[in-house]
Amino acid sequence: MSDKNWEPKIVAFVCNWCTYTGADLAGTSRLKYPTNVKLIRVMCSGGIDPVFILKAFERGADGILVSGCHPNDCHYNAGNFHARRRWTFFDELLEYLGVEKGRLQFSWVSASEGKKFVDVVSKVVNDVKEMGPFKSYDELNSEFMTKFPDMPEIDKNMIIKEEEAV
């Protein structure tokens, strides 16, 4: 991409029992993956509403990972089976609307698959890096944003990543 320093923003919606724990295992095993991904924990993949995914895109996510327990292994028996039907439709729909497959990826990662978690995350990050920023979705949002590029800075302290705050 044109901006060399661009780093994609990746959100992962994961279930508490398998993928979150799998990610814990990746940590315990000191495996490495890119910092781009941030996890949002829900109890079960069955509880992941596809609208969360839209919301994350609205908030500038360049790629999204959704992951839960393998089929038959759901902590709640059947949550992921329902999720599977839901995801089938949602993924088909977004794909049809022109969102590339790589932007939204689904996987099953169990609590013992720390390595798989790392592989999955790395794949999402790499795929999204290759595709570049999710400009087309951003442009949906820019309709009324770009007109006023020079918003005044209220409070220097708001730049939260700046070290010398105060």
Partner 1 sequence: MKIGVFICHCGENIGRTVDCPRVSKACQWLPGVEVSLDYKYMCSDPGQNMIKDEIRKKKLDAIVVGSCSPHMHEKTFRKAAVDAGINPFLVEIANLREHCSWVHDDIDAATDKAIDLVRMAVEKVKRNQPLTTIEVPVTKRTLVIGGGIAGIQAALDVANAGYEVVLVEKEPSIGGHMSQLSETFPTLDCSQCILTPRMVEVYQHPKIKLMTYSEVEKVEGFIGNFTVTIRKKARHIDESKCTGCGLCTTKCPVKKKAFNSFEENLAYRPAVYVPFPQAVPNIPVIDETVCTYYKTGKCQMCVKVCGREAISFDQQDTLVTEEIGAIIVATGYKLYNIEKKPEGSMIKGYGEYGYGKYKDVVDGLQFERIASASGPTSGEFKRPSDGKEPKKIVFIQCVGSRDDSKGFSYCSKICCMYTAKHAMLYKHKVHDGEAYVFYMDIRSGGKMYEEFVRRAIEEDGVKYIRGRVSKITEKNGKYIVKGEDTLASMPIEIDADMVVLATAMIAQTEASELAQTIGIPYDKYGFYNEAHPKLRPIESTTGGVFLAGACQSPKDIPESVAMASAAAAKAMVLFGSDKLEREPVVAKVNELFCAGCFLCKKVCPYGAVEVKEMKDRNGVVYKEIAYVNEGLCQGCGTCTASCPSKSIELAGFNNEEVFAQIAAL
Partner 2 sequence: MDEKIISKQNLVNFCKDIVANGHNLLAPGKTEYNLIQDPSEIVLDTKSKPTKASYKTFVFPKAEPILYYKRGKNDVVMLDAKVDEKKTVIFGAKPCDTNSFNILNKIFNWDYKDDFYNERVKNFIVIGLMCEYSDRYCFCTSVGSSPVSEKGSDLFLVPIDENNYAVRIVTDKGKEFIGAYSKYFTEGAPEKSKAAEEKVKQPEVAFDSKQVHEWLGKNFEHPKWDGVGDLCLSCAQCAFVCPVCHCFDLVDEDYSYTEGRRMKNWDGCQFGHFTLHASGHNPRDIQGKRYRQRINHKFKYYVDKFDEILCTGCGRCSRGCAVSIDIKEIVANCTD
Partner 3 sequence: MEELKKLAKELLENKTVAAVIGYQQVDDKRTKPIIVTTPEDASKLVFNEYCLNNLAVYLTKARIKNLAKQNGTTLKLGIVAKPCDIHAIVALIQESQLKREDVYIIGMNCHGVVKDYGMDFSGETLATKCTPCDSHKPLYSDSNLGEVKDTPKVSDEVLEKIQAVEKMSHKERFEYFKKEFDKCIKCYACRAACPLCYCQRCITDKTVPRWVESSPHSRGNFSWNVVRAFHLSGRCIGCGECERACPMDIPLSLLNRRMTETAKQAFAYVSGRSLDTPTLVGSYDVKDSDELFM
Residues contributing to the site for partner 1 (CB under 8 A): 9, 11, 17, 20-21, 23-28, 30-35, 38-44, 46-50, 52, 55-56, 59-61, 69, 72-79, 82-83, 86, 112, 118, 157-158, 160-163, 165-166
CA distance 123 to 18: 19
Report in angstroms how near the CB of residue 91 gets to partner 3 at its nearest.
4
* Cβ at position 133, least distance to partner 2 in Å: 15
160-163: long-range pairs with CB below 8 Å, 24+: none
59 binds partner 2 per the rule CB under 8 A: yes
Q: Tell me which of partner 3, partner 2, partner 1, none is bound by residue 148, counting a contact when its beta carbon lies within the kind-specific cut-off of 5 to 8 angstroms.
A: partner 2
Tell me the backbone φ, ψ of residue 71, rounded to 5 degrees: -55, 145
Segment 107-166, which members bind partner 2 (CB under 8 A)? 141, 144-145, 147-148, 151-152, 154-155, 157-158
Which of partner 2, partner 1, partner 3, none binds 154 (CB below 5-8 Å, type-dependent)?
Answer: partner 2
**How far is 119 from 23, CA to CA, in rounded Å?**
11
Which of helix, strand or coil describes residue 67?
strand
Structure tokens at 70: 């393998």
Closest distance to partner 1 from the beta carbon of 107 (Å): 16
Q: Are 135 and 62 in contact (CB under 8 A)?
A: no
Residue 22 CA to residue 112 CA, distance in Å, equals 6
CB closer to partner 3 out of 28 and 136: 136
Please calculate the CA angle 128-133-137 and round it to the nearest 5 degrees.
Answer: 110
Contact residues toward partner 2 (CB under 8 A) are: 59-60, 141, 144-145, 147-148, 151-152, 154-155, 157-158
